[in-house]
Amino acid sequence: MRILITGGAGFLGSHLCDKLSSQGHDLICLDNFFTGRKQNIAHLLGTPRFELARHDVIDPFKFEVDQIYNLACPASPPHYQYNPIKTVKTSVMGAINCLGLAKRVKARVFQASTSEVYGDPTVHPQPESYWGNVNPIGRRSCYDEGKRCAETLFFDYHRENKVDIRIVRIFNTYGPRMNPDDGRVVSNFIVQALRGEDLTVYGDGQQTRSFCYVDDLIDGFVRLMNQTATVGPVNLGNPGEFTMLQLAELVLQQVGGKSKIIHQALPADDPRQRRPDITLAKKHLGGWEPRVPLEEGLKHTIAYFKTQV
């Protein structure tokens, strides 16, 4: 197949390019390099079935493709809050441009949505049927509401124009190729520990997240895209739930060194807890479930960051 991956030079996008490339597909990676890096896809450049397009998803594009994976959007809070209006445009206009193209060329189109659509959840763990608890006017809203609007657009194109859609709601995912300056918690803690700096736990560190290793997530992406039982949304993530203090301690155990844990202010609207209900994914994605426990995934990720910092 010919496949377009927007945001293909980012953390998740580059792993998706690897997976699809290993399956023999022709790939077009579209990226504006806001948070993505050429080094993530350097090994694919110059191979016969891989093309790179430096382009912004908010501007229309045309490619004759069979499938589109729409991943373009900064994912880390410091990066998506850097230019919040651009973040909304990326989510909303990026979705419209992908859906318009999918409609024209009859491609199947996949949206990388997020557990952020659940906001600070009042239901725990979160099933896809939960509508969420999102502040529409806060610092995180450009991302949360942008992604929620993208889901709306996907369903409206599906209902009105019969566009063949798939939507995944991704819970916190980590692994090699995260940008050392990304600002998300796993990369922050590992980079801080490797540099001998103190680990910055925001707030009391009792807030929880569920961390999925990148290989498990990408396997779920491709399964979701290529099945016909559901268009989604489907949660993908690892149901193991950890407090940020537990994560900091795990990282310190594995990296060693003299770093201590220090506390800094909790960002506004920081969700208190998050854990995916993955019943739907297990049912529709051929028994998919995460295989890599946090301890093992951290080992691979730390090994990667040792080459970067």
Should residue 244 be labelled a site residue for ligand UDP when binding is judged by CB under 6 A?
A: yes
| Rounded least distance, CB 49 to ligand UDP, Å | 33
**Partner touching 187 among ligand UDP, ligand NAD, none, CB below 5 to 8 Å by kind:** none
Distance separating alpha carbons of residues 277 and 237, to the nearest angstrom: 9
The first and second tokens of residue 212, run together, are 């999925």
| Rounded least distance, CB 184 to ligand UDP, Å | 3
Distance separating alpha carbons of residues 302 and 253, to the nearest angstrom: 12
Nearest to 11 by CA among 81, 79, 58: 79
118 counts as catalytic: no
CB nearer ligand NAD, residue 73 or residue 163: 73
How far from chain centre, in Å, is Cα 273? 18
Q: Residue 112: what residue type?
A: A
Contact 144, 116 (CB under 8 A): yes
Candidate segments 61-69, 95-103, 126-134, 170-178, binder of ligand NAD by CB under 6 A = 170-178
Candidate segments 64-72, 156-164, 264-272, 279-287, binder of ligand UDP by CB under 6 A = 264-272
Burial class (CB in 10 A: 0-12, 13-18, 19+), 26: middle
Total residues contacting ligand NAD by CB under 6 A comes to 27
**Judged by CB under 6 A, which of 21, 32, 97, 301 binds ligand NAD?**
32
Q: Bridge-partner residues for 86, per DSSP?
A: none
Distance separating alpha carbons of residues 87 and 181, to the nearest angstrom: 18
Distance separating alpha carbons of residues 7 and 55, to the nearest angstrom: 10
The SS3 call for residue 154 is helix
**Partner touching 305 among ligand UDP, ligand NAD, none, CB below 5 to 8 Å by kind:** none
Distance separating alpha carbons of residues 187 and 184, to the nearest angstrom: 6
Angle between helix 214-225 and 11-22 (nearest 10): 60
Distance separating alpha carbons of residues 31 and 94, to the nearest angstrom: 11
Question: Which residue in the list 80, 143, 174, 213 is annotated as catalytic?
Answer: 143
| Rounded least distance, CB 245 to ligand UDP, Å | 9
- The 206-245 site mask, x for binding ligand NAD (CB under 6 A), equals ----------------------------------------
Q: Bridge-partner residues for 212, per DSSP?
A: 173
Should residue 29 be labelled a site residue for ligand NAD when binding is judged by CB under 6 A?
A: no
CB nearer ligand NAD, residue 175 or residue 205: 175
CA angle 52, 56, 61 (to 5 degrees): 75
Candidate segments 66-74, 148-156, 198-206, 225-233, binder of ligand UDP by CB under 6 A = 198-206
- The 151-190 site mask, x for binding ligand UDP (CB under 6 A), equals ---------------------x-----------xx--x--
| Rounded least distance, CB 244 to ligand UDP, Å | 4
Q: Residue 256: what residue type?
A: G
**Partner touching 207 among ligand UDP, ligand NAD, none, CB below 5 to 8 Å by kind:** ligand UDP
Residues 77-116 that bind ligand NAD (CB under 6 A): 90, 112, 114
CB nearer ligand NAD, residue 171 or residue 259: 171
Q: Which residues are catalytic?
A: 143
